[in-house]
Amino acid sequence: MNVGGTELHVEDHGHGPPLVMLHGLGSNVEWLRPEIEQLSRIRRVIALDSRGHGRSDRPAAYTLADHVSDVLGVMDALGLERADVMGTSMGSYVAQGVAIRAPQRVSKLVLVVPKASGTTSSVARLIGEHAAELEGKSNDEVLAFIGGLMFAPTTSPEVRARRDQGTQRDMELGLSLTPGQFQAANRALEGFDFRPELPRVTAPTLVISGRHDPLNPPAEGEVIARSIPYARMVVLERSGHLPSLEEPDELVEIIRDFLQQEPAPTS
């Protein structure tokens, strides 16, 4: 789909009220496949590879505001006046931006392992904190090291291996980012702060954090939940930054219940 001159990979699954689903930094729709398959049973799920990622165009430079415009452009192209919006990690930043820029177009908002502000991406911050340990390592070695930190301490080796399998799948499908493309994706997340504008969000909002998340810990989610008028928060006790791998059934059940049962604001 061409949106404002950028070719975006967009998938459309299922039937029912529309749900726009947004992935994390360096990721793509393949990492959302389990949630797409399950939630498309109750929703029409529209999932897209953000610009710079997956099968979408990968320009040399872009911004978080571009990501927000892309989502609204996809909604326009599909004739969606309103939709539920769900974002994970980087996708949660984009989802917040959509709900702030166009609150009337978001019916319900789901933010998984989110934060509302950052001088850098959370990955770039974590790399900086471990600079001494990572000195002299290749880009792949750096990403593997950071990937290992994303899990809760109790996460099993079998679950951790699924992330490696996903990374291998991306390589085989040509979906991996080059170091330059990964840097561009990180730069797009520098210096954003939605905190002053979160009270403008009118959609009922579900914030989901992982208790052991080193990138966007629960305190970041609490900031959002306190600031959005119709928000509630859930902390997954056995998850780090990857609850879709660590507690997949619990994650989907919480989201499904929210989408189906959460009442709309009364004022």
Domain ranges of the chain: 2-260
Q: pTM for the full model?
A: 0.94
Provide the angle, in degrees to the nearest 10, between the axes of the packed helices 139-149 and 157-173: 140
How remote is the C-alpha of 126 from its chain's centroid? 17
Give 171-226 pLDDT, tens digit per residue: 999 999 999 999 999 999 999 999 999 999 999 999 999 999 999 999 999 999 99
pLDDT tens digits for 30-82? 999 999 999 999 999 999 999 999 999 999 999 999 999 999 999 999 999 99
What confidence score (pLDDT) does residue 178 get? 93
pLDDT value of position 267? 39
For residue 104, the one-letter residue type is Q
Report the C-alpha dihedral over residues 206, 47, 158, 209, rounded to 10 degrees: -20
Q: 2-260: CATH homologous superfamily?
A: Alpha/Beta hydrolase fold, catalytic domain (3.40.50.1820)
Give the pLDDT confidence score for residue 161 in this predicted structure.
Answer: 93
- pLDDT at 131 (0 to 100): 84
| pLDDT greater than 60 at residue 265 | no
The mean pLDDT value for 16-38 works out to 97
Q: How far apart are CA 19 and CA 88, in angstroms?
A: 13
Q: How far apart are CA 86 and CA 256, in angstroms?
A: 11
How high does pLDDT run on average in the chain? 94
pLDDT of residue 16: 95
Dist. CA 56–CA 2, nearest whole Å: 10
- State the alpha helices, DSSP H only, in 56-178: 64-77, 90-101, 122-129, 131-134, 139-149, 157-173
* Cβ atoms of residues 22 and 94 within 8 Å: yes
